[in-house]
Chain A
Amino acid sequence: MINDKYANKIVDIIQNFARKSSLWVVAYGTGCGAIEIPPTMTSRYDAERFGIRGSATPRQADVLLITGYLSTKTLKRVIRTYEQMQDPKYVIGFGSCTINGGMYWDSYNTIKALDQYLPVDVFINGCMPRPEAVISGFIKLQELIKEGKANGAQKYKENLEWYRENQRKVIKNWKMPDYNW
């Protein structure tokens, strides 16, 4: 108990470094962008260099990758997956569809702006973004984590009401269990 503040800081630095260097991605291929993941992970681009690894279940994952357009039907599943992930958790919006709807801008059953429904930490531009872009997006996320700024989960927790309202607007049969923090 010499100096709580410094001790906490050191612990924070170590933890953030660990979080940064070990990003486990829950494999949830929503749209066409999912096809860009295999090249990212395999020998040509080898994302494992940065500690990025796939994970089979959301319980173990840190990063939720929304790979492209997101239909309203899929949104419900994505929300549940996101909520099943453990804090700290990050969302990467992948491709222009997640930013403004992209080529589905006037589709009746895709969502246009992902950040109205989930707290996105990093958007990756492009249609499709190439693996280089994906990796650069991850590196951006790592930087944010290292600085302690990737606090999407925090935001989600604080503005849960607002997010829920938006989510309920698009999802017709809302039969989700309540998220007890």
Chain B
Amino acid sequence: MFSISGIFITTFVSGLVAFLLHHSVPKIRDWFSIVIMGVIVYAVWELPVKANLLSFKLANYNLVFGNTEYGRLFALIVAVLGFFAILYSKDFMEGKPRLGYFYMAFFFSIGGMFGIVYSQDLISLFFFWEIMTWSSFLLVIYCCKEAQKIGLKYFVFSAIGAYSIMTAMVVLYSSIGSLQFADVFAGFGKMDFWSQLLVVVLLLMGFGVKSATMPLHVWAPGAYRITPSSFTAIFSGALSKMGIFGIGLTLFKIASATGFYPWVQEILAWIGALTALFATFYAVFATDAKTLLAYSSIGQLGYIVTGLAIGTPLSIAAALFLTVMHAIFKGMLFLATGAVYYRTGTTDMTKVSGLIRKMPYTFLTALFGIITVSGVPPLAGFSGKWMLYESLIQSNHYFLVVVIFFSSTAAFLYLYRYIFSLFLGQEEKETENVKEVPWLMRIPMLLLALATLVFGVAPGLLLHPVSAAMKYLGDFGVTYQTSVLFNEWGNKVDMLTVANTIGVVFIIVTIIITIKGYRSTRYVTTKDIHTSGEVPTENENLTYAVDFYKPFERALGSVLKASVDKIYNATGRILEQSFDYLRYVYTGNGQTYAMYVVLFLTILVVFSELIFGIKL
């Protein structure tokens, strides 16, 4: 019943059907998509775990698809997040143009991701990788004219990534003769050193583009900002995880037998950590909420990359745990930002403020989101961070842990700014009539928020599939109980005790402070604040939103000025300019062309010895 081909066909065909429905009966288009996504979630859940579920020969290559525990983890992320996003899309996307196109690209990218996680050979992985790339590209350029440049950048970088993978595949195929995972894993060790190194570097580069690892991240902020929020949740939550998926495969299934493996690990870990650090800095100074979240995503993915690169059982567990968590909380945050956009029409943090009383549910989601991102207990972000730090310390990466910790602390800055600028602060007149978003948009957000709480109290629930996935990656075992985390020195954190303590204290104190002086406590508006006796007028701007972290910026000084983006842009410009000069070869004069012909002939004749080795 639930076969892999079934999942593929359902996804891709419903993409087309949704497109057609949009042009015939647009009313049922949304519900159709929701139902289909629901079915797909169920199918992914029920799909048996088996390494070879479907294989056939296409174009001289054996294509194999199978469901591994590792792939299943990612497939579930994609499916569940996809379901939530599509549930959210119904109201969010209502009335926007080109909805058929939107749904089609949406389903195609989801299908592409399924293909990636289920593929058991590099050809089909690459095949679906490209499908995912172009369909997500279509969604990046979906909105407007401004998106075009960003989309192009996204595509170019994706292409660079994909083509690195392709080159690696070419090298692998020429030395192993097969691209099935089983053969590649087995045959990789027999290749010569330089090919091995080349393949590993190319693969990491290719997957690193999708996981927005510096210095290949420059596409991400723009692309995340410009896509419709319901897809950005997927984009950041699931699509970027495909890079992580690939890095995991590369490190543990392909490269682990090589001699340079520790070096690769070390360098990659540092790249991840520096990604986290710089992305956090950029996030702190972003003014657009979605740009901020985009940089935050880059940073979080940096942690995951570091975790994977370290390669101890605990760090892998941390990385995979954070992978799931990142999908959840970045999904939440992007959905919440989308909700703000839905009601106010902007995500510029200097323009919106004080939405908490108008959009309490959205605020709640955002609050849970930022607590999870920041890794503060008792929500689930903590468990992941804890495991990451412990594993880093115990594998003697002293300075790495400091860098990670530092960026994690700096993350508080942008997280606070995010929630402060959008939801807290002055209630402005422009947002007077803002209402909470419809229920269909609230439900996904709130469910995700609930998940962070559940996994926070009982990280073991999530560690169960994670450790199963780790079994696929290698002989990694990690100790855990439903709510207790252990590090490799045997120290532990009991999340249940923590949650209980925090919960009990919090509730008791809340009750006390609410009852005490309940009647005498009154609510005043945010205009009624201490302003040295002055009465603020309606138009007076009392929100502190511009240059929020100016002192920090001054403290950082010139660190911020370094930008790879500028280098890339300059390179692009110079290349394009030189291409422009190149085409002046075609002068438009027939005689010149004829001259080229004669010259070509002459050169061949004159240099015949050089070219053919025969003297004429």
At the interface with chain B, which of A129-137, A156-164, A173-181? A173-181
Q: List 25 A-B contacts (CB under 8 A).
A: A28-B533, A57-B530, A58-B530, A59-B530, A76-B533, A76-B535, A77-B532, A77-B533, A77-B534, A78-B533, A80-B533, A80-B534, A80-B535, A81-B532, A81-B533, A84-B528, A84-B530, A87-B520, A175-B535, A175-B537, A176-B535, A177-B527, A177-B528, A177-B535, A180-B522
Apart from the given pairs A76-B533, A76-B535, 15 other A-B contacts in the complex at a CB distance below 8 Å: A59-B530, A77-B532, A77-B533, A77-B534, A78-B533, A80-B534, A81-B532, A81-B533, A84-B528, A84-B530, A87-B520, A175-B535, A175-B537, A177-B527, A177-B535
- The count of residues in chain A whose C-beta lies closer than 8 Å to any C-beta of chain B is 15
Q: Which of A79-106 contact B (CB under 8 A)?
A: 80-81, 84, 87
Chain B contacts for A57, CB-based, 8 A:
530
Chain A contacts for B528, CB-based, 8 A:
84, 177
Interface residues on B, range: 10 to 19
- Alpha-carbon distance between A2 and B533 when the two chains are bound, in angstroms: 46
A62 to chain B, nearest CB (A): 15
B517 to chain A, nearest CB (A): 10
B83 to chain A, nearest CB (A): 47
Report which B residues bind A (CB closer than 8 A): 520, 522, 527-528, 530, 532-535, 537
Q: Which of A17-39 contact B (CB under 8 A)?
A: 28
A154 to chain B, nearest CB (A): 13
- Alpha-carbon distance between A76 and B535 when the two chains are bound, in angstroms: 9
- Alpha-carbon distance between A78 and B527 when the two chains are bound, in angstroms: 17
- Alpha-carbon distance between A87 and B535 when the two chains are bound, in angstroms: 21
Question: How many pairs of A and B residues are in contact by the CB < 8 Å rule?
Answer: 25
Give B531's nearest chain A residue, CB to CB. A80
Chain A contacts for B530, CB-based, 8 A:
57-59, 84
A139 to chain B, nearest CB (A): 28
Give B532's nearest chain A residue, CB to CB. A77
Q: Could you mark each residue 140-181 of chain A with 1 if its beta carbon is under 8 Å from any beta carbon of chain B, else 0?
A: 000000000000000000000000000000000001110010
Chain B contacts for A28, CB-based, 8 A:
533
Chain A contacts for B534, CB-based, 8 A:
77, 80
Q: Could you mark each residue 28-53 of chain A with 1 if its beta carbon is under 8 Å from any beta carbon of chain B, else 0?
A: 10000000000000000000000000
Chain B contacts for A176, CB-based, 8 A:
535
Give A86's nearest chain B residue, CB to CB. B520
Chain B contacts for A58, CB-based, 8 A:
530
Chain B contacts for A175, CB-based, 8 A:
535, 537
The 10 closest A-B pairs by CB, nearest first: A77-B533, A57-B530, A81-B533, A80-B533, A59-B530, A58-B530, A176-B535, A80-B535, A175-B535, A84-B530
B429 to chain A, nearest CB (A): 15
Give A180's nearest chain B residue, CB to CB. B522
Chain A contacts for B520, CB-based, 8 A:
87
- Alpha-carbon distance between A176 and B534 when the two chains are bound, in angstroms: 10
Give A80's nearest chain B residue, CB to CB. B533
- Alpha-carbon distance between A138 and B400 when the two chains are bound, in angstroms: 59
Among A59, A78, A80, A180, find the residue whose CB has the most chain B CB atoms closer than 10 A: A80
- Alpha-carbon distance between A17 and B153 when the two chains are bound, in angstroms: 70
A58 to chain B, nearest CB (A): 6
Give A59's nearest chain B residue, CB to CB. B530
Chain B contacts for A87, CB-based, 8 A:
520
- Alpha-carbon distance between A59 and B534 when the two chains are bound, in angstroms: 14
Chain B contacts for A80, CB-based, 8 A:
533-535
A101 to chain B, nearest CB (A): 22
- Alpha-carbon distance between A76 and B530 when the two chains are bound, in angstroms: 14
B526 to chain A, nearest CB (A): 12
B515 to chain A, nearest CB (A): 16
Give B523's nearest chain A residue, CB to CB. A180
A43 to chain B, nearest CB (A): 28
A157 to chain B, nearest CB (A): 12
- Alpha-carbon distance between A92 and B468 when the two chains are bound, in angstroms: 73
- Alpha-carbon distance between A77 and B532 when the two chains are bound, in angstroms: 7
- Alpha-carbon distance between A81 and B530 when the two chains are bound, in angstroms: 8
- Alpha-carbon distance between A77 and B530 when the two chains are bound, in angstroms: 11
- Alpha-carbon distance between A28 and B530 when the two chains are bound, in angstroms: 13
- Alpha-carbon distance between A76 and B531 when the two chains are bound, in angstroms: 13
B529 to chain A, nearest CB (A): 8
Chain A contacts for B533, CB-based, 8 A:
28, 76-78, 80-81
- Alpha-carbon distance between A87 and B522 when the two chains are bound, in angstroms: 12
- Alpha-carbon distance between A57 and B529 when the two chains are bound, in angstroms: 10
Among B522, B527, B535, find the residue whose CB has the most chain A CB atoms closer than 10 A: B535
A57 to chain B, nearest CB (A): 4
- Alpha-carbon distance between A80 and B533 when the two chains are bound, in angstroms: 5
- Alpha-carbon distance between A18 and B9 when the two chains are bound, in angstroms: 76
- Alpha-carbon distance between A59 and B529 when the two chains are bound, in angstroms: 9
- Alpha-carbon distance between A58 and B530 when the two chains are bound, in angstroms: 7
Give A84's nearest chain B residue, CB to CB. B530
- Alpha-carbon distance between A177 and B529 when the two chains are bound, in angstroms: 12
B427 to chain A, nearest CB (A): 14
B202 to chain A, nearest CB (A): 60
- Alpha-carbon distance between A176 and B536 when the two chains are bound, in angstroms: 9
Chain A contacts for B532, CB-based, 8 A:
77, 81
- Alpha-carbon distance between A177 and B537 when the two chains are bound, in angstroms: 10
- Alpha-carbon distance between A81 and B537 when the two chains are bound, in angstroms: 16
- Alpha-carbon distance between A122 and B196 when the two chains are bound, in angstroms: 88
- Alpha-carbon distance between A58 and B527 when the two chains are bound, in angstroms: 15
A155 to chain B, nearest CB (A): 18
- Alpha-carbon distance between A84 and B527 when the two chains are bound, in angstroms: 12
Chain B contacts for A177, CB-based, 8 A:
527-528, 535
A119 to chain B, nearest CB (A): 18
Chain B contacts for A78, CB-based, 8 A:
533
Among B520, B533, B534, find the residue whose CB has the most chain A CB atoms closer than 10 A: B533
A135 to chain B, nearest CB (A): 26
- Alpha-carbon distance between A81 and B533 when the two chains are bound, in angstroms: 5
A73 to chain B, nearest CB (A): 11
Give A28's nearest chain B residue, CB to CB. B533
A71 to chain B, nearest CB (A): 13
A33 to chain B, nearest CB (A): 17
